[in-house]
Structure 1
Amino acid sequence: MKAPDSATLLLYRGLSIGWFVSLSWLSYLRTQSPIPAIPGTSGFIRSYLGALRFFYQARDIISLGYNQDRGGVFRLSRFLRWEYLVIGKKRVLEVASAPDHVLSLDEGLRDALQSDYTMGPETTLNPYHIDVVRGALTRNLSRCFPRVHNEILHAFDDVLGLHDTEWKLVQVFPALNMIVARTTSRLFVDLPLCRDPGYLTLCIDNTIDIFMWGTSYSVLSLRVNLLFRILGPLLSKRKRNLRHALKFLGPMIDERVKQDNEYGTDWPDRPNDLISWLLDVARGEERTTAILTQRILTLYAVSIQTSSMTLTSALYDLVTYSDHILPMREEAERVVATQGWTKAALGNMHKIDSFLRESMRMNSQIIGLMRKVIGKDGFKFSDGTTIPYGSFISVPMAAAQLDPGTNIQQAIDCFRVNISRVNYDNADVFDGFRFARLREKQSGDRDTHEVTRTFTRHMVTTGFDHVVFGHGQHACPGR
C-alpha cells in the first residue's frame, strides 16, 4: 500500500487542526456568560493563553480574581472550559447545600478524573463505599485504633530505618506515602498483607495513575468525547492495576465470600476490616471479587494522596516553626499519661489539632468544593446570578484561607453586599496555636466536653472558610 505523500499528510493535519479549532470556537460561544472573567483571560485566544498561564501562576491568578471581589463570582479560564469561583459565606453555603440534580460532585469527579476509566464505572455509578466509610469504618475506629497505632509505630521504624545515631537522608513525601499506605492497609486488610512491599507499591502507583492520568484524560475527552470512549479504556492503566491487585486480594476475598455464604456474617473470628464492611452491604454482582477489589483500590486512592500531602506540609511546618514542638510534645505526654494511646486521647490533643488545621490553612489546595452544574437551567444563586449548564463551580480555597477579612464599615459605605469574608488576625502569618486559643477563649468556665462538641474549628470540622474536606452533605466521610 502506497504511503500518503507530504501534501496529503499536510492536508490531514490542517483538517485536524481546523476541526479542533472549530469545536473549541463553538464551545466558547456556548459558554459565554455576563459574569466577569479574570482580567486578561476574556476572548477566545486570551482564554487559552490564560489557561496556559494557570499552570504556573495559578495562585496569583486566583488571588487577583478573589481580591477584586466582583460581586462574589468570577470566571477562571481552564483548557476547554470555564470554571466559576464563588466568594463569601452565603454563596459557599448555597453551593454546598444545592441538590444533587442541580450541582453534582459525582459528575464533577467523573469529568475531572475521568473516573469511569480510572476507577471503573461500577464504582462511580454505585458509590455505596461512601456509606461504608461514613458508617462501619467510622463506628469501628475506636475498636481498631490499637492495631492502627501499632502499625504506625512499625511503619515509621521500618520506613525510616533509624536504627543508629547516624544522620540519614529521607525523601519526605515518598516516606510518608509508604507510611500512610501501610497504616491504611492495616485498617483495610490487616496483617500480613498490609506490610507486603509489592501490594503497597501497587496501591500507591494506582493512586498516582488515577490523579495524574485522570486529569490528563479529562482534557482530551472534553473535545473528542466519542473517540475517547474508544481510546479511554485502552489508555487507562485501571485494568492492568486491577489484574495485579487480584493476585493479592483475590484469594482473601474469595475465602471471605465463601465463609459468609456458608455461615452468615457472624462466623467465629470474622475479620473486622474493610472487606467485611463492604460485604455487609454488597449485593448481587457487587460481591464479585473483581468489583470488590476495584472498590478497595478506589478507597486507597482517596485515602493515601490527601493524607500524605497533609502530613508532608505539617512536617515541613514543624521544622520551620520549631518553637511549637515542645508544647505539643508536652501536651501529648500529658494526655497519654492519663488516657493512653486511644482515639479519645487524640481528640484531647488540642494544640496538635490546632497546628494541623493551621498547616492546612496555610498550605491548602488552590481551589476546592468542586461541583458540576447538571441542572438544565443552570444554577441560580439567591441574588439571581446564574451559572450555565455544564460549567464547573469551585471555591478559591487558598485565597480565602489567607484573607484577613473585609472591613465591614467600608463595605457598608461602598454598598457592597458580600461582607461575610473570612477573618483571621495576621492571616498571612503561621500561628500553630491560633485555633487552640480560640477553643480556650470559648471554653471559659464551661464543661470541657460541651466545648469539644460545639467548637467549630477542629482540624476536621468543615465550614465556609474551611473546605479542605468539602462542606455540606458531600464533605469527605473519612476525614
Structure 2
Amino acid sequence: MTILDISTSLAVGSAITLLFLLFTTTTIPAALGGSNIFTYHLAALRLLWNGADVIQRGYTEYRDGLYRIPKLYRWDYVANGKKRIAEVADAPEDVLSFNYGVEDIIQADYTIGHKMTSYPHNATVVRAGLTRNLGRCFPQVMDEIIHAFDDVLALEDEDWKLIQVMPATMQIVARTSNRVFVGLPLCRDQKYLDLILNYTVTVFTRGTLIGLLPSFLKPILGPLISTRKSSLRHALKFLQPLIDERLAKDDECGSDWPGRPHDLVSWLIDVAEGEERTTSALTLRVLATNMAAIHNTSMTLTSALFDLTAHPEYISPLRDEVERVITEQGWSKSSLGSMHQLDSFIRESQRLTGTAPGQYNHAYRGSAQGRSVQMPRKVVGKDGFTFSDGLTIPRGSYLTVSAIPVQYDISNYEHPNEFDGFRFSRMRNDNTGESVFTRHMVSTGTDHLVFGHGRHACPGRFFAATEIKAMLAYILINYDVRSETEGVRPPEQCWGLLRWPNPWGKVLIRKRRGRQFGETK
C-alpha cells in the first residue's frame, strides 16, 4: 500500500466518521465533543492527550449518570455510580461482552490472536489450576524471589545502589511467574525472559497503535504492525521441546503420571481440546498469560515501591509486622494472609497514584493497572443494553465505567486525596459490621475497581497478590530502600486513558544489616 493509498483511506475514514456523527442520535450527553467533524476530531485528540481530565469531568458532571467520550472513529460510553457499576458487572456475557471489550483494547485479533478471547479458557486455567495450587507452588515462588532479587539487583556488600525500578521489577516478576508457568531451568533463561518481556510491551504498545486505525485499515496494516507471528516463531524455540515432551507423556501415560509438574503448561493441556491441543496454540496461551501477569504485577510492585520510598514512615511498622509473622509462621501463602498492614499498604497504593512530589492531589495518576476507566464491555445483546432507569446503549457500542474518580470520591473514602497506607487495615478492624473480606487486596467492589468487579473480576489477582506481597515483604526485611530525592515520587506517564508508573523512576537500595529472612517453612 502506497502513501497515497493510505492518505485516501484516511480521507474515507474521516468521511465515514462524519456520516456516523450526522446520523447518530442519542439523548446521552457527551463529556467532550463537537457538532461537526472538525470539533469532533479535536475532542478525540484531546482525549488521547488528556484522557484522565475528561473522565474526571464526566464523573463530576454526570455523577450517577451516563456520558459519551469521542474516540477517533466512534463514540464510547462511560457509566457512573455504584448502581450502574453493579449492573454492568452483573450483565451476562451475551449482552455485555467482556471478552470483546478486552479484544478491542489490545486489538487481540492482531496482537495475541482472536482465539485468546473467543475461547478464553486461560481464565479457567488460572482459576482451576493456578489459584488452587498457590499453596503447593509457594515454595517455588519464594525460592525464585530470593534468587531473582540476588541476580537482578546484583548488590555488593552493604553499599547503596541506584536502580531503575520498572526494568528490575519486570525481570523479577517474569522470573518468579515463569517458575510456576514453565519451571526450571527455562524461567532463568535470559533469552526466554527477554522474549516474553518484549512480547508483553509490544502487545500493549502495538495494540494501542492499531486501535488508532479506522476499522477498514486494520486488516491491512494490523498484521504489519503486530509481532504476533514472529513472537510465536521465537517462542517455539524455547517452548516446543517442553510442550512436545509433556503432550507425548500425557498421551502415553494419561494426565496423572508420577512427577507430572504442577505448572501452567500442564494446566493448559488439561483443558485443551482439538486444535487448541497443539504446540503452537499452547505456546500462544503461555505468551498471553505472561503478558497479563507481568504487566499488572510489575506495575503494581513498582508503584508500591515508589509509595514506600516517598512515605518512609511506613517502613518500620511494615517491617515489624513482616518480621513478626515470618518468625512465628515462616514463609508461606497463609502467613502472607496475616500481614494485614502490608496488604492494606498495597491496596492503598493501587487505589491512588501520585503526581506532585510527596503528596497526592486531583491530578491523580490512574491505577497501577493503568486505566482511568475499567470493566470494558462491548454491547452484543440484540436489543442493546438497558440500565434499570431505562437508558439504553445501542448494540455494537463499547461501554466502560469510571474507575479512578470513584477511588478519589470523598463519598467513598475519607480524605481521598491523601495516601493512607493503613486505611484498609483500620477498616478491617473497625467494628462496623462490614465484612472484613471486602477490604483485602484481592477484594473488588463498586468503590475499588483495580481488579474490575463481578463475574469478570481479574482471575489472576490471587496469584498476583501472593507475588506482590511476598516480594514487598522480602524487600522490607532484607533491604533498606529510600527515594532518589527525599519525599519525591517519580511522576506517572500517561497516554489517552492509560496511565502507568514512571518507567525511568529510580530508588536507592542496599542490603540490610543483620539477619536475613529467606527460608520457606
TM-score higher than 0.5 = yes
Letter in 1 for 2:381: G
2:319 corresponds in structure 1 to 329
| Structure 1 residues 39 and 14: CA distance shift in structure 2, 3 A | closer
2:488 corresponds in structure 1 to none
Decide which of 318, 331, 334 is 1:341's aligned counterpart.
331
Structure 2 CA distance, aligned partners of 1:315 and 1:41?
Answer: 42
Structure 2 CA distance, aligned partners of 1:65 and 1:217?
Answer: 26
Once the 2 structures are TM-superposed, how far is the Cα of residue 63 of structure 1 from its aligned partner?
1.1
Cα displacement string for residues 351-399 of structure 1 (whole angstroms, at most 9, x for unaligned residues): 0110011001002131111111112322110001111222211111111
Decide which of 101, 105, 110 is 1:108's aligned counterpart.
101
Structure 2 CA distance, aligned partners of 1:454 and 1:257?
Answer: 44
Once the 2 structures are TM-superposed, how far is the Cα of residue 64 of structure 1 from its aligned partner?
1.3
Letter in 2 for 1:168: K
| Structure 1 residues 35 and 13: CA distance shift in structure 2, 3 A | same
Once the 2 structures are TM-superposed, how far is the Cα of residue 17 of structure 1 from its aligned partner?
5.2
2:428 corresponds in structure 1 to 439
| Structure 1 residues 41 and 70: CA distance shift in structure 2, 3 A | farther
Gap regions ≥5 residues in structure 1:
406-422, 445-450
Instruction: Check whether the contact 1:113–1:218 (CA below 8 A) recurs between aligned residues.
Output: yes
Cα displacement string for residues 80-133 of structure 1 (whole angstroms, at most 9, x for unaligned residues): 122211111110000011111111111112222111221123322211121010
1:414 corresponds in structure 2 to none
Structure 2 CA distance, aligned partners of 1:217 and 1:14?
Answer: 16
Instruction: Check whether the contact 1:369–1:470 (CA below 8 A) recurs between aligned residues.
Output: yes
Decide which of 131, 137, 145 is 1:144's aligned counterpart.
137
Correspondence list, 1:42-57, <5 A: 43-57=36-50
Once the 2 structures are TM-superposed, how far is the Cα of residue 230 of structure 1 from its aligned partner?
4.0
Q: Please say if 1:382 is aligned against 2:381.
A: no
| Structure 1 residues 272 and 254: CA distance shift in structure 2, 3 A | same
More displaced 10-residue stretch of structure 1: 160-169 or 345-354: 160-169
Once the 2 structures are TM-superposed, how far is the Cα of residue 467 of structure 1 from its aligned partner?
1.3
Structure 2 CA distance, aligned partners of 1:215 and 1:51?
Answer: 15
Q: Please say if 1:67 is aligned against 2:60.
A: yes
RMSD over equivalenced CA pairs, Å:
2.0
More displaced 10-residue stretch of structure 1: 321-330 or 368-377: 368-377
Structure 2 CA distance, aligned partners of 1:267 and 1:16?
Answer: 57
Instruction: Check whether the contact 1:31–1:388 (CA below 8 A) recurs between aligned residues.
Output: no
* Equivalent residue pairs, number: 444
Structure 2 CA distance, aligned partners of 1:320 and 1:294?
Answer: 39
TM-score by length of 1: 0.89
Correspondence list, 1:170-189, <5 A: 170-189=163-182
Once the 2 structures are TM-superposed, how far is the Cα of residue 70 of structure 1 from its aligned partner?
5.5
| Structure 1 residues 321 and 376: CA distance shift in structure 2, 3 A | same
Letter in 1 for 2:375: L
| Structure 1 residues 14 and 216: CA distance shift in structure 2, 3 A | closer
Decide which of 166, 189, 202 is 1:196's aligned counterpart.
189
| Structure 1 residues 40 and 20: CA distance shift in structure 2, 3 A | closer
Once the 2 structures are TM-superposed, how far is the Cα of residue 15 of structure 1 from its aligned partner?
5.0
Q: Please say if 1:475 is aligned against 2:457.
A: yes
Once the 2 structures are TM-superposed, how far is the Cα of residue 28 of structure 1 from its aligned partner?
2.2
More displaced 10-residue stretch of structure 1: 183-192 or 266-275: 266-275
**Is the helix fraction higher in 1 or 2?**
1
Q: Please say if 1:120 is aligned against 2:102.
A: no
1:29 corresponds in structure 2 to 22
Decide which of 275, 279, 286 is 2:269's aligned counterpart.
279
Q: Please say if 1:369 is aligned against 2:351.
A: no
SS at match of 1:455: helix
Decide which of 415, 419, 429 is 1:430's aligned counterpart.
419
SS at match of 2:315: helix
Letter in 1 for 2:373: I
Letter in 1 for 2:452: G
More displaced 10-residue stretch of structure 1: 104-113 or 137-146: 104-113
Structure 2 CA distance, aligned partners of 1:187 and 1:14?
Answer: 48
Instruction: Check whether the contact 2:303–2:349 (CA below 8 A) recurs between aligned residues.
Output: yes
Structure 2 CA distance, aligned partners of 1:391 and 1:443?
Answer: 41
Decide which of 290, 301, 308 is 1:300's aligned counterpart.
290
Once the 2 structures are TM-superposed, how far is the Cα of residue 65 of structure 1 from its aligned partner?
1.4
More displaced 10-residue stretch of structure 1: 154-163 or 279-288: 279-288
Instruction: Check whether the contact 2:428–2:436 (CA below 8 A) recurs between aligned residues.
Output: no
Structure 2 CA distance, aligned partners of 1:165 and 1:173?
Answer: 22
Letter in 2 for 1:215: T
2:148 corresponds in structure 1 to 155
| Structure 1 residues 241 and 30: CA distance shift in structure 2, 3 A | farther
Runs of 4+ aligned structure 1 residues displaced above 3 Å come to: 12-18, 29-32, 39-44
Once the 2 structures are TM-superposed, how far is the Cα of residue 203 of structure 1 from its aligned partner?
0.5
Instruction: Check whether the contact 1:115–1:124 (CA below 8 A) recurs between aligned residues.
Output: yes
Letter in 2 for 1:81: R
Instruction: Check whether the contact 1:122–1:291 (CA below 8 A) recurs between aligned residues.
Output: no
Correspondence list, 1:125-274, <5 A: 125-220=118-213, 222-224=214-216, 227-274=217-264
2:440 corresponds in structure 1 to 458
Q: How many percent identity over aligned positions?
A: 52
Instruction: Check whether the contact 2:100–2:117 (CA below 8 A) recurs between aligned residues.
Output: no
Gap regions ≥5 residues in structure 2:
354-366, 462-521
Larger Rg: 1
Once the 2 structures are TM-superposed, how far is the Cα of residue 61 of structure 1 from its aligned partner?
1.6
